[in-house]
Structures are given as structure tokens and as C-alpha cells.
Amino acid sequence: MIQVEIGCDHAGYELKEWLKSTFSGKVDWHDHGTFSLDSTDYPDYAHATANAVLANNSKGILICGSANGVCMTANKHAGIRAALCWSKEIAVLARQHNDANIVCIPARFLSREDAAEIVDVFLNTVFEGGRHANRVEKINC
């Protein structure tokens, strides 16, 4: 079973819970919140999730309304390569070419089914390495 760190704000809460249920039995979820629909600040959960991805050498999922806020926040952490993905094709390329370790999903702009496809390909696509490895090595400041 693959270990996945997950976090969201209030806009992503329902999708987060649905994804956890949908991938139950296939994923060992480490949930970093939020745990309700109450209004909250996305950086709190993005930082917690990013720190856990780094500490556990795992993959992560972040969800907010547009996914911009969680993506910007997570990418402040050296070693995090968070990708905002709105289609499964973008998620595949984020893994293959960028070795993304967090996928950021815009809850207000995707169906549950599209989000599940993105998560599935993100978790199951391998980094190609090769010419992409040198580029990925240049990302951190």
C-alpha cells in the first residue's frame, strides 16, 4: 500500500473525504486536515502536508478551491515539487518529467471522477529520469 499525505482547506474538504473513501484499501492515508467545512486558512494544511512528504519521502495531495494557494504554499519548501493539475494528462507529465511529489487539485473546477483519475495517474506514474533528472536537480534555490 502506498503512503500518501493529504491536506485541504474547507473548499477541498468534501473532495478530500471522497478521495480517501474511493482509494480506501489502496492508499495508507495520512490526513493533515482540515477536518470540517468550517472556513480555514489553506497554508496551515499545505505546510503540514509538505513537511510530511519531505519527512516520510512520500507523495502528497493538496486540495483547495483553485489549487493555486496550496500549490504556491507547498512550493516554498525546498524539495517539494507541487504541480497544479486539472487533467490526468497534466498529472502524468508532472510525474514523468518533473518528478512531482505533490499533486494540487482545484476542487471547485473538477468533477469527483476527474479528480480521481488525476490521483490515480499521479500515484501510478513513474518519473522518467534521463534528460529530465538534470532539470529537476535545478529546481531548488
Q: Can you list the domains of the chain with their CATH numbers?
A: 2-137 (3.40.1400.10)
Question: Is 18 within 8 Å of 71 (Cβ atoms)?
Answer: no
Mean per-residue pLDDT for 66-73?
Answer: 98
Q: How would residue 95 be classed by pLDDT, with cut points 50, 70 and 90? A: very high
Rounded distance between C-alpha atoms, residue 115 and residue 16, angstroms: 10
Looking at residue 141, its pLDDT comes to: 83
Please indicate whether residue 64 is annotated as part of the active site: yes
Question: Is 46 within 8 Å of 69 (Cβ atoms)?
Answer: yes
Which one of 64, 71, 85, 104 is the catalytic residue? Answer: 64
Rounded distance between C-alpha atoms, residue 24 and residue 93, angstroms: 25
Which one of 30, 47, 97, 132 is the catalytic residue? Answer: 97
Please indicate whether residue 97 is annotated as part of the active site: yes
Note the pTM of the prediction, 2 decimals.
0.97
